[in-house]
Structure 1
Amino acid sequence: MSKIVILQGSPTVKSRLNGVLDRVRGQIEESGAEVSVINVRDLPAEDLLHARFDSPAIAEANALVAAADAVVIASPVYKASFTGILKAYLDLLPQKGLENKIVLPLVVGGTIAHLLAIDYAFKPVLSVLGARNILTGVFVLDTQVTWGDDGKARIEEEIAGRIDAATSLLLQEARWQTERAQG
């Protein structure tokens, strides 16, 4: 069974990104893969700001990433890049912390002008962390995700299809990787 970690980079509890990730997580769970979520906002701020590599919370998060076959890394776009809190956590991953991982970047942005945040902000950092199998990311305009009165996210059909396709590819790649590793 594949193990997949979702790194959620939003500093806010109620974020459109949560709606997107709820959809991704549901698809992963339906596939039978094991999924864990790391909300970087829940990691101790002092540990992140002071780069405490030996923090128990950071060590636990890093262990989840190390054990994963695949990582979904998701963030809203702030100032044409992913969030600072996510960067603070990525700085605490080991130098090759994403080596041999399949990585799917997901970004929610307020304008199409942020579309290239995946290529120019995420991919260089992911590459430095050893990721070589970086799947085509999904950029979601924040207007494509709304919250219903029932508290559930409503995702426009076109972008929902792209999210589902990207997640399916992630699951397929993770399954293949797990099968190869098991011989």
Structure 2
Amino acid sequence: MTITVTVVVGNPKPQSRTRTVAETLVAKLLEPGSYDLDVIDLADHTAEIFAWPSEQMAALNARVASSDLAVFASPTYKATYTGLLKAFLDRYPANGLAGVTAIPVLTGADLTHSMGPTVNLAPLLVELGAIVPGRGFYFVAGQMDHLDEIVGAAAEEYAANLARLASVAAVTQGVSA
């Protein structure tokens, strides 16, 4: 079985370290060959992000909403995520991400805002109907030389949470998605 995974990167700088962290998380979490990866680097769409309506942005939103797993990644700006990511998420109606498992990821200069992905981004994703399998992931950008180790530990935690959810889902009584 192959799942669809989308990484949405809200860094205004294309090909950012934030993107690298998010893609590494997916690679550490999932078995190779078990997923199709789609990366939406919002820095590549700044000309359209605030255009209403926008067929291009609607298509991007639809791709994310049809994902099995979505990683939403942003650098920390003013103790929260970027306006670029917020503008993208604002395009969803209530429950627009229903059925999507979502992992919030923030990067930052130090641990000052380490609760940001859990306190600020995760509630927005839940409000949009996504399933968030644990606390958000915060990565200190100065630790890129330890990327595999730090992201690997986070991936193990998410994998354990998802396994527990799967075991509960396996015994639910006739409740379907």
TM-score range normalised by the length of the shorter chain: 0.7 to 0.9
- State the structure with bigger RCO (CA 8 A, min sep 6), 1 or 2: 1
2:16 and 2:39 mapped to 1: Cα distance?
A: 15
2:97 and 2:71 mapped to 1: Cα distance?
A: 11
Maintained 8 Å contact 1:4/1:70: yes
TM-score after normalising by structure 1: 0.77
1:14 and 1:65 mapped to 2: Cα distance?
A: 19
1:174 and 1:14 mapped to 2: Cα distance?
A: 33
In 2 relative to 1, CA 160–119 (structure 1 residues): closer, same or farther, beyond 3 Å? closer
1:109 to partner: Cα distance: 1.0
Q: Which runs of 5+ in 2 are unaligned?
A: none
In 2 relative to 1, CA 160–44 (structure 1 residues): closer, same or farther, beyond 3 Å? closer
**Counterpart AA for 2:49:** L
1:82 aligns with 2:81: yes
1:29 to partner: Cα distance: 6.8
RMSD: 2.9
Aligned runs of 1:1-183 on 2, under 5 Å?
1-27=2-28, 28=30, 30-45=32-47, 47-50=48-51, 52=52, 54-146=53-145, 155=147, 157=149, 159-166=150-157, 168=159
2:33 and 2:162 mapped to 1: Cα distance?
A: 8
Residues 101-150 of structure 1, C-alpha deviation per residue, up to 9 Å, x if partnerless? 1111111111211011112210221122112444322111111115xxxx
1:64 and 1:175 mapped to 2: Cα distance?
A: 24
2:79 and 2:68 mapped to 1: Cα distance?
A: 29
Length, aligned pairs only = 170
In 2 relative to 1, CA 70–175 (structure 1 residues): closer, same or farther, beyond 3 Å? farther
Q: Which runs of 5+ in 1 are unaligned?
A: 147-153
1:34 and 1:174 mapped to 2: Cα distance?
A: 22
Runs in 1 of length 4+ with deviation above 6 angstroms?
Answer: 173-177
Secondary structure of 1:64's counterpart equals helix
1:101 and 1:82 mapped to 2: Cα distance?
A: 20
Secondary structure of 1:103's counterpart equals strand
1:111 and 1:90 mapped to 2: Cα distance?
A: 26
Secondary structure of 2:104's counterpart equals strand
TM-score after normalising by structure 2: 0.80
Maintained 8 Å contact 1:65/1:97: no
